[in-house]
Amino acid sequence: MEMILCLKVQSPVVSFRRPLDHNYQRTLPLPPPTTLIGLAGSALGLSDRELWAKDSLFNDDVKVAVWMNQESGRASDMWTLLKIKNMKMERSPYMRELLFGVSYTIVYSADEKLLTSLRRAFQNPAYPLSLGREDELILVEDITIDEASPGEPIFYGTVIAGDVRKMQIHPMLEPGIQFEPPIIAELPLNFSVDNKRLRHPQNYAVLSFLPFQLKMEIPEMQALKYQGRNFVWMNC
């Protein structure tokens, strides 16, 4: 059994840009680990420098996981950046993929003292809570400290560490289902912050974002279970 803090959240609109996308910014289906750690930092009122300091508990001692509670909708929106080039203002349009009507369960694991502090922080956050941009606010529907039990290696609509293409998997196909293939991305697990307060990604890891519609059995994964959903930690 492992003690966890579990949040159920929803948001009308979110977007998690894939790192290599620029003019057309596709979204990941779920928030990456740095977004979840940043969410906890906002609740606690930590600055970027405090959150990502070398001696920060969030660098080594906090584990994170997430899964979808329902399949979200998708849309695209056009944005325009204003750039100054050769002393002239230029417009640079780009497309941004959005998820709407999202509902996630977010899980943190740490020592009991930190989990208790996090629960208080999410009940009365220091800063507005979002999963990205300032206008992409979330509603926290439920906050619980509980225990996760050993689970079964059957996953869907969640994120696992590693490249699922290189694992032995057993898709659990059902008549009539429609699904997209898993998304594989190499993403940072934390940041360093320089004297100019610029963040620099560190400790990259390969993560697999699994579709909501298709259950997969992955025997090599050591799963935990909470409220009927199997999961693994993304950042360990």
Residue 236 belongs to a domain = no
| Per-residue pLDDT at 81 | 65
Residue 18 belongs to a domain = yes
Asked if residue 92 lies in contact with residue 83, where contact means CB atoms within 8 angstroms, the answer is yes
* Encoded amino acid at 21, one letter: D
Residue 47 belongs to a domain = yes
| Per-residue pLDDT at 185 | 96
Residue 25 belongs to a domain = yes
| Per-residue pLDDT at 11 | 96
Write out the H or E segment, with its range, that includes residue 35. Answer: helix 33-44
Longest dimension (CA), the chain: 61
- Measured from the Cβ of residue 46, the count of other Cβ atoms closer than 10 Å reads 20
Per residue of the chain (236 residues), what is the pLDDT tens digit? 899 999 999 999 999 998 887 777 889 999 999 999 999 999 999 999 999 988 887 877 899 999 999 999 988 877 676 667 777 777 767 688 999 999 999 999 999 999 999 999 999 999 999 998 778 899 999 999 999 999 999 999 999 999 999 999 999 988 888 888 999 999 999 998 888 888 899 999 999 999 999 999 999 999 999 999 999 999 98
Q: Tokens 């307060």 appear where? A: 197
Q: What's the token pair of residue 21?
A: 């996308």
The CATH number of the domain holding residue 171 is 3.30.70
What residue numbers bound the domain in which 19 lies? Answer: 2-77+89-231
* Encoded amino acid at 7, one letter: L
Residue 142 belongs to a domain = yes
CB-based burial, 49-87: b 16+ in 10 Å, e otherwise: eebbeeebebbeebbbbbbbbebbeeeeeeeeeeeeeee
pTM: 0.91
Indicate the number of domains in the chain. 1
Within 94-227, residue ranges assigned H as helices are: 112-123
Residue 9 belongs to a domain = yes
Residue 82 belongs to a domain = no
Residue 171 belongs to a domain = yes
Is 223 in a helix, a strand, or coil? coil
